[in-house]
Amino acid sequence: MTETTRADATSAETTADDRPGVGSTPAAGETEVLAGAPPHRLARLITERLMREGLPMAYTQVVPKDAATLILIDRTGPEPKVLVGRRHAAHKFMPGKFVFPGGGIEPGDRAAPAATELDPGAATRLMRAVRHPSPTKARAFAMAAVRETFEETGLLLGRAGAGATSVAPLPSPDGPAAAAAAAAGPDAAHAWAAFARAGLLPDLSALQFIARAITPPRWPRRFDTRFFAVDAAAVAGRVEDVVGPDSELVELVWLALDDAEQLDLAPITLAILAELDHRIANGFRPDLPVPFYRWSRGRMQRSEL
């Protein structure tokens, strides 16, 4: 597979040899930064960064967990900025690094109501290279990104609830539906109850599906992450005191895209920011191809969904 081929439509992971170091090796003396690099060079640059940092060898194959993340973009100034948060140093995955808010998919994400639905093209791309694809599963990725953003930042992305399109009722914080949601996961129940109290429902039409990436093999924790982006104007409310020294994210930063290399960001995070920069330069259109990063034959590969 070349770095810019179309993704296989039937499997999320390649069957090729995934042993670190097998395949092409990075060019000697390469110093190019990831931030601002053209898309066709990003996969190679990620590989080189990972090789320099050292690839883990002690873990057996871990099945990636479905996850979703959301990138808030502020385009009101002369230069776009994105919201990132620094993870608590005690976390096992990316401790102390700056990340986008996000996390795993919860059962309640499939049935929770929304004010608007995803762009059909985004929903179609979310179902590519997925086992057991379905519109419900595609929608759950977007709902999880909105929910996780609230849980980690306190930001509510939505519209007034009168325009709900889902047949599922919005649970009352004290009603039986909320109790059922709590059985599926206390964090999810808390998040959707907060939306209910604010009179809001998630605005999925505002989200763009912009990238997907799978953590390389032999990492202790692996995620198959869908990256969404949304304009910061979609933030309709905020709950205070969510971010702090004892929280999952200890601080939030609005980061200018040109300053991405100044913070402690993972190589894939830098690559996604470069992809976002390229997307903004091309009009931030929802019909643009969606890059898909995954490890194959000893290096990171970039395809398009």
Higher pLDDT, residue 182 or 153: 153
283 found inside a domain: yes
Q: What does the mean pLDDT of the chain come to?
A: 80
149 found inside a domain: yes
Whole-angstrom distance, CA of residue 113 vs CA of residue 165: 7
CATH code where residue 286 lies: 3.90.79.10
Whole-angstrom distance, CA of residue 181 vs CA of residue 116: 21
Q: Whole-prediction pTM value?
A: 0.81
104 found inside a domain: yes
Higher pLDDT, residue 175 or 281: 281
177 found inside a domain: yes
- Residues 84-120: tens digit of each pLDDT: 988 765 666 666 788 999 999 998 898 889 999 999 9
Query: DSSP E strands: which ranges in the chain?
Result: 65-74, 81-87, 98-99, 102-104, 155-160, 200-202, 208-214, 223-231, 235-238, 249-256, 291-296, 299-304
Matching residue, tokens 């776009």: 80
pLDDT at 28 over 70: no
Query: DSSP E strands: which ranges in 136-188?
Result: 155-160
pLDDT band at 217; cut points 50, 70, 90 = confident
DSSP 124: H
Structurally, how many domains does the chain consist of?
Answer: 1
284 found inside a domain: yes
11 found inside a domain: no
| CA geometry: angle 127, 257, 89, nearest 5 deg | 80
Task: Give residue 126's domain range.
Answer: 39-304
33 found inside a domain: no
Q: What is the pLDDT of residue 162?
A: 53
12 found inside a domain: no
Whole-angstrom distance, CA of residue 218 vs CA of residue 38: 28
Q: Residue 59: phi, psi to the nearest 5?
A: -105, 140
Lowest mean pLDDT among 5-14, 158-167, 210-219: 5-14
